[in-house]
Amino acid sequence: MTSLSNSEEQLMQYLWKKKKAVLKDLLEAYNDPKPATTTIATLLKRMQDKGFVDYTQIGRSREYFPLVKKKDYFSKHVNGLIKNFFNNDAAQFASFFTEATDLSKEELKELKKMIDQQIKEK
């Protein structure tokens, strides 16, 4: 799976949220100043070429939808991050994550609960 540029990723976030959208709906998701319609169309074409989105033709409009699940996309990137920046050492990543994100005691307890659940299920 190739990756998305920052602007493609931002557009993909809108599409994941909406599940299906025509170009006009996607354009409305942006804050002012909104990008040009042609810019969004170009991004969608690139994302389609990369296999991230496709569309259904409805009359003269195209209704776009994601081909990749948000969870799968970010899971791949987190695993790549662990591999490339933390020498494939999940403990090193966890240490960095818990220290660098300034999590509260309650958030850390919740994280521990999730990890304990995963240990139980494996």
* pTM given for the model: 0.72
- Quote the pLDDT of residue 7: 94
Cis status of the peptide bond prior to 66, with omega within 30 of 0: no
The type of residue at 24 is K
CA distances from 24 to 17, 47, 60 (A): 15, 17, 13
* CATH architecture under which domain 6-66 falls: Orthogonal Bundle (1.10)
Query: What are the extents of the domains in the chain?
Result: 6-66, 70-121
CA distance 87 to 12: 29
Q: How many CB atoms lie within 10 A of CB 15?
A: 21
Question: Which segments of the chain have a pLDDT < 70?
Answer: 1
